[in-house]
Structure 1
Amino acid sequence: MDMKIIKSEKRLCTCCMEEHEVKTVLVNDQAAFKNVKVDYDAFYLYCDAAGELYMDEQQIQENDVRLKDAYRRAEGFLTSAEISGIRTKYGISQSDLCILLGWGGKTITRYESHQVQDKAHDTILKKIDLDPEWFLSLLHDAKDNLPAESYQRYLDTATALYEKDWDSYLRKAIEANYAKYQGNQLLHGNTGLSLDKAVDVIRYFAASVKVTSLYKVKLMKLMWYADALSYKNRGFAITGLIYQALPMGAVPVGHNSIIDLKDVPCEEIDMGETNAYHFSLKNTSEFPALSDADKSILDIVIDKLGKMTKSEIITFMHKELAYTETAPRDAISFKYVEKSLQI
């Protein structure tokens, strides 16, 4: 039998009832659980005098968990550690998670120790792990059964996880919109899509005191000019965004989702019959996705266009060759920038 010695210490050997060096060893074991044969690593004590393996009480408990975790992996179930990890993710206690799920108060404790969950409970645990929105729904329903302090702590943690997942979903949705343009470098501006750069470009414009009344329409034009100027001066755009020729000028594909991305400083303002989107950022100088060369391009755009009103920048954009030569709603090719750009 192959054994890996983990440690050796002098102690009373309960196998031979003599005091001597007793080894703790790791052994690859095989056993059947619920008629499924599994291999798993087990810890034993080894008595040299008797040449036998034996277990103390703690090892019996730990090896039992290892056996059952091996079974869980074989059946595609969550392991005890993975169940514990779900609780850690949300910062919730064993008993409070049972309250959320409507299970007996010791159910999670048993699943994290000696009992294997059934398929139905495993499916529920996997869903709650992957879906913070569902956790928030369960938490709302269980609010009256939880201490106020615990409820608020779980709410804050799950909300943060949900917001993080929402940003990930938005990014994937935007990237999916761009898939059909893959390979057309004249539309991308010879650079791959970088939503991190797009977010920081918006933040950079929003933070500048030289940019006045930065609302959505004006922002979209500033972004196009930043990418266009970068393409003209360096041969590649900053963000990799693709712009369409809409009635009020160039607008990035997926613009409504882009302004909803995490860290975009967008405030929705009720204007009566419609809503306006205002962008403003104070007390920051950190734009990690942007290089100094990127910022230099943005500074030129700010100096040239930052004080323009919405109407002025629309009129200015409408005179661009890139706009006049592009059919309405078509994607704008950066090839026109090589011939003419007003800034």
Structure 2
Amino acid sequence: MDMKIIKSEKKVCPCCMEEHEVKTVLVNEQASFKDVNVNYEAVYSFCDEAEELFMDDRQMQDNDIRLKDAYRVHEGLLTSVQISDLRAKYGITQSDLCLLLGWGGKTITRYESHQVQDRAHDTILKKIDEDPEWFLELLNEAKEKLPIESYQKYMEAATRLYEKKQDVYLRKAIEASYAGFQGKQILHGNTSLSLDKVVDVIKYFAASEKVTNLYKVKLMKLMWYADALSYKTRGAAITGLVYRALPMGAVPIGHNSIIDLKDVPCEEVDMGETNAYHFQLSGKHTFPSLSKEDKYILDIVIDKLGKMSKNDIIAFMHKEQAYIKTAPREVIQFKYAQSLLI
């Protein structure tokens, strides 16, 4: 008999009524549920003396769930474990999730035990699982019906998930804006876009005591110089960013989104008629995506340009062949890095 032993314990065997090691095993089985044939692993106890499989009440319930979960997988529905896991992400009880969704109070309990959800309910549960922003909307609608402690607990968990998800969406959007540059090595510095490196480069500049008054315009120039110098000396840029020639110098495509990436130390500063973006990082930090060679390049840029004012670095960049020979708003080719002034 083909079976997999998962546990063994000495006890009185209900099969032969003798005391000996009773094994808990998994057995591959096939069964039909809602006219669909599915394969699943059923759990049994096995008596060596009688050489027989048998089930207790708990195993019968477990096998019922296993069969129905196999059917769910076959039909593309969430399994009972996945439903339980999505609740655990938000730290929400079965009854409170039903309250948020306007379902009967035992609906989720049944879905996590013996009842297979219909496709409409499954779609809603998947949206809850994938979209913490929607969960936050539902939570606010049900705020008056929940104890304040529960509401705050769910709000904190959902907010953390939303912020994490927001960064994923933002990264995908930035990467999509770079899709058209794939294969054009001279435009992205012979390097595939790495947003992890982009974040670490920004953090590295922001953490340096040798970099003064690091606002967005200056940061963008430092990043271009780092990528250009890396390309000049190593044949490949650090970040894979693509830069355009704007009036104040080189600016990477997607710059407005890049500064919103998670872990970028950006602070919005009210300057009266407009807002400015300041970058500063205090204390000790690690930059796991950067190699020693990357940091060496960044340190050269910091030593040469770190204390320049915004206007000075703009004027300095305007003297670069890369800027002079690139038409306004066009992409700056990395071939001009060979004539870099630093």
The normalised TM-score by structure 2 is 0.93
Counterpart in the other structure of 2:254 = 254
Aligned to 1:341: 340
Shift of 1:135: 1.0
Partner of 1:158: 158
The Cα of 1:198 is off from its aligned counterpart by 1.1
Q: Map 1:6-17 onto structure 2 (within 5 A).
A: 6-7=6-7, 11-15=11-15
Change (3 A) 1:48 1:269: closer
Q: Give distance in 1, aligned partners of 2:327 and 2:209.
A: 35
**Change in CA separation of 1:208 and 1:3 when aligned onto 2, cut-off 3 Å:** closer
Structure 2 residue identity aligned to 1:336: Y
The equivalent residue for 2:57 is 57
**Partner Cα separation in structure 2 for residue 173 and residue 304 of structure 1:** 33
1:126 to partner: Cα distance? 0.6
**Aligned counterpart, 1:121:** 121
Q: Can you list the C-alpha shifts for 1:122-177, whole angstroms capped at 9, x where unaligned?
A: 11111111111111111111222222222222212211111111111111111111
| 1:131-280 alignment, distance < 5 Å | 131-280=131-280
The 1:231/1:46 distance shift into structure 2, 3 A limit, reads: closer
What do residues 1-49 of structure 1 show as CA deviations (whole Å, max 9, x unaligned)? 6444555555444445566665443322222222222222212234566
Letter in 1 for 2:95: S
After TM superposition, list the pairs within 5 Å mapping 1:81-120 onto structure 2. Answer: 81-120=81-120
Larger mean CA deviation between 8-17 and 251-260 belongs to 8-17
Q: Distance in 1 between matches of 2:53 and 2:292?
A: 65
User: Structure 1 residues 10-19 or 288-297, which shifts more?
Assistant: 10-19
Q: Which moved more, 1:183-192 or 1:28-37?
A: 28-37
Q: 1:19 and 1:132 mapped to 2: Cα distance? A: 52
- Equivalences, count: 342
Q: Which residue of 1 aligns with 2:292?
A: 292
Equivalent AA in structure 2 for residue 199 of structure 1:
V
Partner Cα distance (1:283, 1:6) in 2 = 49
Letter in 1 for 2:316: F
**Distance of 1:265 and 1:97 partners within structure 2:** 36
% identical equivalent positions: 75
Give the aligned partner of residue 39 of structure 1: 39
Letter in 2 for 1:249: G
- Could you tell me how far 1:259 is from its partner in structure 2? 0.7
CA–CA distance in structure 2, aligned partners of residues 5 and 294 of structure 1: 52
The superposition leaves residues 201-234 of structure 1 with CA deviations (integer Å, 9 ceiling, x where unpaired) of: 1111112222222111111111111111222222
Q: Secondary structure at the match of 1:67?
A: helix
Q: Give the RMSD, CA atoms, in angstroms.
A: 2.0
Deviates more, 1:7-16 or 1:131-140: 7-16
Whole-angstrom distance in 2 between the partners of 1:177 and 1:12: 67
Alpha-carbon shift at residue 273 of structure 1 (Å): 2.7
> In terms of mean alpha carbon deviation, does 329-338 or 94-103 score higher?
94-103
How far off is 1:50 after superposition? 6.0
| Equivalence for 2:318 | 318
In 2, distance between residues paired with 1:283 and 1:27?
56
- Cα distance in 2, alignment partners of residues 2 and 48 from structure 1: 14
Change in 2 beyond 3 A, CA 1:225/1:46: closer
Q: List gaps (5 residues or longer) in structure 2.
A: none
Aligned partners of 1:102, 1:32: CA distance in 2, in Å?
32
The one-letter code matched in structure 2 to 1:245 is A
Identify which range, 273-282 or 13-22, moves more after superposition: 13-22
What corresponds to 1:71 in structure 2?
71
Name the CA shift for 1:292/1:119 in 2 (closer, same or farther; >3 Å): same
Q: Aligned partners of 2:278 and 2:8: how far apart in 1? A: 68
Structure 1: segments with no counterpart, 5+ residues = none
Question: What one-letter code is carried by the residue in structure 2 that aligns with 1:327?
Answer: A
User: Given the superposition, is the C-alpha separation of residues 7 and 208 from structure 1 closer, same or farther in structure 2, using an over 3 Å criterion?
Assistant: closer
For the residue of structure 1 that corresponds to 2:40, the secondary structure is strand
